[in-house]
Amino acid sequence: MTALLPRLRRSAPAPMRAAGQKMVRSVGRLTPAVRLLPTFLVVGAQRAGTTTLHRLLSGHPAISPPLFHKGTNFFDLWYDRGWSWYRGHFPVRSLARARTHSAEPVTFESSGYYMFHPLAAGRIARDLPETRLVALVRDPVERAYSAYRHEFARGFETEADFGRALELEDERLLGEEHRIREDPAYQSFGHRHHAYARRSLYTPQLRRLRDAVSPDRLFTLDADAFFAEPEKQFVRLQEWLGLPVWIPEVFPKLNARPGRPLPTDLRQRLMNGFEAADQELVEFLGDVPSWRR
């Protein structure tokens, strides 16, 4: 029965889901002490396979996934809502033990903006000092183009041409990170929705995470390698997380957005533009990412 609950929640009408989420959060605020805290967080990058990874991890028999949403956006967007609000998103410890048949059940969340938000890493390190972080990196050009198509389809991007959106990126993001740092309650639309190339510059984001939580608590997963060899990469991740190794029947690829392929000349120009950043990533990871092999 418990395995059916996530599917039932996803298929419920939107008003019913919203009412259920509000009720659960209200109850959660009153019961924070009996709820699990996440053992690990999937922190991004956006459009790098976080939805697929979240669904796989949610099916793990030792994991009791978060309630309703894959992520809370607490450490980036809703930090001012407080600790009880955050804990209210996670399972009650006794119910998680019954679900997983484990004395030490695990829960987690996945929020793709944590990796890019300038304050999230420090907040996580302060509030969850033992929690591990999982970051995904992907071919930076494909990630940026996928993010553009995602934002355009959602109505958050008005430019119908990807090249034009890239031209506007610096202007749209000018001063936004500074504003976020100066006013922690400030939410930047441009920083969240229009940072196509900037969010594909992985090393500064990974370094900020590593410096906040220590190197041994950060696992970086190459998303392209993960989709090419999902079982091998999923086993590596489970071993690093200290989970019993579990192999699902299928490895789905979720949240992929179909669309026209990127023109070859633009793709090559962007790959050339990311060359220095990718070399910096090689030095950070000690390995060559799959898209540069």
Q: Are strands 132-137 and 40-44 parallel, antiparallel or unpaired?
A: parallel
Q: Which domain holds residue 105?
A: 2-292
What whole-number distance in Å separates Cα of residue 219 and Cα of residue 184? 27
pLDDT of 187 reads 97
3-state helix, strand, coil split of the chain in percent (to 5) is 55, 10, 35
Please state, for a pLDDT cut of 90, what percent of the chain lies above it. Answer: 80
Q: How much is the pLDDT for 169? A: 98
- Per the document, the length of the chain is 293
| C-alpha to C-alpha distance for 185 and 188, rounded to whole angstroms | 10
Q: Which of 186, 181, 199, 83 is nearest to 137 (CA)?
A: 199
The confidence score (pLDDT) of residue 257 equals 67
How many domains are contained in the chain? 1
From the list 141, 126, 19, 5, the residue with the least C-alpha distance to 64 is 5
The answer to whether 188 and 131 are in contact (CB under 8 A) is: no
Q: Say if residues 233 and 48 touch (Cβ distance below 8 Å).
A: no
- Its pTM stands at 0.89
Q: Give dist(CA 202, CA 16) in Å, integer.
A: 38
Distance CA 65, CA 258 (A): 28
- Per the CB < 8 A criterion, the answer to whether 195 and 173 are in contact is yes
Over residues 24-47, the pLDDT tens digits come to 555 556 577 789 999 999 999 999
Q: Give the per-residue pLDDT at 5.
A: 47
Mark the ranges of the chain whose per-residue pLDDT is less than 70.
1-30, 255-258
Q: State how far the Cα of 199 lies from the Cα of 147, in Å rounded to an integer.
A: 9
Residue 91 tokens read as 């399972």
pLDDT of res. 22:
57
Record the tokens describing residue 210, joined without a space: 């590593």
**CATH number of the domain bearing residue 204:** 3.40.50.300
pLDDT of residue 2: 40
